[in-house]
Amino acid sequence: MTHLPLCGVLAVTVLVMTGHAAAQNYPRRPVTIVVPFPPGAATDSFARAAGKRIGELMGQTFVIDNRAGASGRIGTDQVARAAPDGHTLLWGSSGPLVISPIWGEKGDKVPYDTVRDFAPVSLFAKIPFLLVVHPSVPATSLKQLIAIVRAQPGKLTYASSGVGGTSHLAAELFKSMAKLDVLHVPYKGTSLFATELIAGQVDMAFAGPTTVLPHVQPGRMRALGITSTVRSALFAGVPTMTEAGLPGYEFTQWYALLAPAKTPRDIVTALNTTLLKAMDDAEVKRRVSVEGGALSPGTPEELTAFLRTELESNAKMIRAMGLKRE
């Protein structure tokens, strides 16, 4: 039987005790949840609803800090560099975590490593996009839109929340599968490009259900397809992209809570337990439901595996489409 040296036993004991002490005293002060996008979209809405409930359950204030820029990379990098004590967290999402890290050319890489620099807590929710067009585009179906774009290559424009973001990749996947030439116009956030789309400054976009819901019914936008495999109760009359004429098209965006790497395991566990309780709250469920989303609770290990899978699948997709930074 192998015995650890006394110093080794003491070191392990100290680490375990330190972890337990950290969790018992956590949180010692207000906790900041960094949202790497502007206010107004699902990323921010979900973070505020979940953060409020987590704070109530843990008896401490959880403050939302919107650090927008570079398609979410600025705020994400801020958390990667933060002290691993559980007092600075990331409300992560698909774009900055599993698209931007594999999108850039040499010399244009993100400053963080999704797997190495974060301690995953839990996946939170997934939501689909809708393909919407400005009313000036004379298309009432996806097939009509495709025909119009093919007849005028390079003339129509699409908006996104930034290069390397989910709305960008959703549109590029659409272009690739339908073999279209559409000009990309990037913005710094979903709420910003929604305003421009309503004004007719751009022709189309892929956006979350709540971003477009207030504008579809009055006719300021026209929804032609939803990117999930099934229709949404919010938009029962809007077909899936497959139903609308583009078989096999599917794209969802997701949100998750993460801490900086090396955050004590007990703190990660405490956050996971509390977030899962928060996801059972009626108001949190309502907030996700009105965004057309579905809650996706899980363990830190499940989120770690999910991130690796997403990185691999997106890398294959981006390589297959031959996409490069603009």
Tally Cβ neighbours within 10 Å of residue 138. 9
**How do residues 235-291 score in pLDDT, each as one tens digit?**
889 999 999 999 999 999 999 999 999 999 999 999 999 999 999 999 999 999 888
pLDDT of residue 116: 97
Lowest mean pLDDT among 34-38, 107-111, 277-281: 107-111
Last residue of a domain, one of 202, 221, 244: 244
The per-residue DSSP string of 23-55 comes to: HHT--SS-EEEEESS-TTSHHHHHHHHHHHHHH
* Relative orientation angle of helices 166-178 and 300-321, to the nearest 10 degrees: 40
The single-letter code of the amino acid at 224 is L
Residue 249 forms part of a structural domain: no
* The pLDDT of residue 191 is above 80: no
What confidence tier does 321 reach under pLDDT thresholds 50, 70, 90? confident
What is the number of domains present in the chain?
2
User: In terms of domains, do 184 and 92 share one?
Assistant: no
Q: Which domain holds residue 44?
A: 6-126+254-321
**How do residues 128-163 score in pLDDT, each as one tens digit?**
999 999 999 999 999 999 999 999 999 999 999 887
User: In terms of domains, do 44 and 67 share one?
Assistant: yes
What confidence tier does 2 reach under pLDDT thresholds 50, 70, 90? very low
Q: For the chain, what's the residue count?
A: 326
User: In terms of domains, do 59 and 77 share one?
Assistant: yes
Give whole-number Cα distances, 64 to 45, 55, 104, 315, in Å. 10, 11, 28, 31
CATH code: domain of residue 180: 3.40.190.10
Confidence (pTM) = 0.80
User: In terms of domains, do 73 and 55 share one?
Assistant: yes
pLDDT of residue 103: 75
**How do residues 175-186 score in pLDDT, each as one tens digit?**
999 999 999 999
76 vs 323 pLDDT, higher one: 76
Residue 326 forms part of a structural domain: no
User: In terms of domains, do 177 and 103 share one?
Assistant: no
135 vs 8 pLDDT, higher one: 135
Last residue of a domain, one of 244, 274, 309: 244
